Protein backbone atom coordinates (compact mmCIF):
# COMPACT_ATOMS: atom_id res chain seq x y z
CA UNK A 1 0.00 0.00 0.00
CA UNK A 2 2.85 2.36 0.82
CA UNK A 3 4.44 1.68 -2.55
CA UNK A 4 1.29 2.87 -4.37
CA UNK A 5 1.51 6.22 -2.59
CA UNK A 6 5.19 6.56 -3.44
CA UNK A 7 4.54 5.79 -7.12
CA UNK A 8 1.60 8.21 -7.16
CA UNK A 9 3.69 10.94 -5.51
CA UNK A 10 6.56 10.47 -7.97
CA UNK A 11 4.16 10.49 -10.93
CA UNK A 12 2.47 13.63 -9.65
CA UNK A 13 5.86 15.25 -9.13
CA UNK A 14 6.87 14.53 -12.74
CA UNK A 15 3.54 15.82 -14.03
CA UNK A 16 3.82 19.08 -12.11
CA UNK A 17 7.46 19.60 -13.05
CA UNK A 18 6.47 20.18 -16.67
CA UNK A 19 4.18 23.06 -15.76
CA UNK A 20 5.67 26.52 -15.68
CA UNK A 21 4.15 29.99 -15.57
CA UNK A 22 4.46 31.88 -18.83
CA UNK A 23 4.92 35.63 -18.68
CA UNK A 24 2.86 37.78 -21.07
CA UNK A 25 5.88 38.83 -23.12
CA UNK A 26 6.83 35.15 -23.60
CA UNK A 27 3.43 34.19 -25.01
CA UNK A 28 4.11 35.98 -28.28
CA UNK A 29 7.07 33.73 -29.01
CA UNK A 30 5.19 30.58 -28.01
CA UNK A 31 2.24 31.41 -30.29
CA UNK A 32 4.31 31.76 -33.47
CA UNK A 33 3.80 29.09 -36.14
CA UNK A 34 7.47 28.13 -35.94
CA UNK A 35 6.79 26.68 -32.47
CA UNK A 36 4.64 23.85 -33.89
CA UNK A 37 5.79 20.32 -34.57
CA UNK A 38 5.51 20.69 -38.34
CA UNK A 39 8.72 20.81 -40.41
CA UNK A 40 7.84 24.13 -42.06
CA UNK A 41 4.67 25.73 -40.69
CA UNK A 42 4.92 28.77 -42.97
CA UNK A 43 4.83 26.52 -46.02
CA UNK A 44 1.80 24.71 -44.59
CA UNK A 45 -0.03 28.03 -44.20
CA UNK A 46 0.81 28.97 -47.80
CA UNK A 47 -0.33 25.56 -49.07
CA UNK A 48 -3.59 25.89 -47.16
CA UNK A 49 -4.18 29.36 -48.60
CA UNK A 50 -3.58 28.11 -52.15
CA UNK A 51 -5.86 25.12 -51.57
CA UNK A 52 -8.68 27.34 -50.28
CA UNK A 53 -8.32 29.70 -53.23
CA UNK A 54 -8.19 26.87 -55.76
CA UNK A 55 -11.03 24.79 -54.33
CA UNK A 56 -13.29 27.67 -53.35
CA UNK A 57 -14.00 26.05 -50.01
CA UNK A 58 -12.84 26.38 -46.46
CA UNK A 59 -11.06 23.52 -44.79
CA UNK A 60 -12.40 24.17 -41.30
CA UNK A 61 -9.30 26.08 -40.22
CA UNK A 62 -11.16 29.21 -39.19
CA UNK A 63 -10.24 31.49 -42.07
CA UNK A 64 -12.87 33.51 -43.90
CA UNK A 65 -13.32 34.24 -47.55
CA UNK A 66 -14.32 32.72 -50.84
CA UNK A 67 -12.52 30.98 -53.63
CA UNK A 68 -11.31 34.06 -55.46
CA UNK A 69 -8.01 34.19 -53.54
CA UNK A 70 -8.34 37.90 -52.86
CA UNK A 71 -8.02 37.79 -49.08
Give pLDDT tens digits for 6-47.
888 888 887 777 677 888 888 888 778 777 777 777 888 888
Q: Is residue 67 part of a domain?
A: no
On the question of pLDDT at 67 being above 60, the answer is: no
In a domain, 7, yes or no: no
- Is residue 33 within 8 Å of 42, Cβ to Cβ? yes
The domain total for the chain is 1
Tens-digit pLDDT profile for residues 45-59: 888 888 777 776 555
pTM score over 0.85 = no
In a domain, 18, yes or no: no
Residue 2, domain member (yes or no): no
Domain that holds residue 47: 24-61
User: What is the per-residue pLDDT for 63?
Assistant: 55
pLDDT of the residue at 71? 55
Amino acid sequence: MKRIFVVAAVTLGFALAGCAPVKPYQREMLSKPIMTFQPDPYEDVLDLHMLEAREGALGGYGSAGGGCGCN
